[in-house]
Homo-oligomer: A and B are copies of this chain.
Amino acid sequence: MSDIKRLDSGPRMSQSVAHGGLVWLAGQVGTAGDNVTEQTKTILAKIDSLLERSGTDKSKLLQATIWLESMDDFAEMNAVWDAWVDPANPPARACGESRLATPEFKVEIIVVAAA
Question: What is the CA–CA distance of A91 and B18 in the complex, to the nearest angstrom?
Answer: 10
Asked if A32 CB lies within 8 Å of chain B CBs, one says no
Q: Mark A58-78, 1 if CB is under 8 A from B, else 0.
A: 011111110100010010001
**A1-42 CB contacts (< 8 Å) to partner B:** 2, 4, 6, 9-17, 19-22, 24-27
Question: What is the CA–CA distance of A54 and B81 in the complex, to the nearest angstrom?
Answer: 26
Contact indicator A90/B4 (Cβ below 8 Å): no
Which residues of the partner chain B approach A91 to less than 8 Å between Cβ atoms?
Answer: 13-14, 17, 24
Asked if A114 CB lies within 8 Å of chain B CBs, one says yes
Question: What is the CA–CA distance of A43 and B20 in the complex, to the nearest angstrom?
Answer: 27
Identify the A interface with B (CB < 8 A). 2, 4, 6, 9-17, 19-22, 24-27, 59-65, 67, 71, 74, 78, 81-82, 85, 87-102, 108, 110, 112, 114
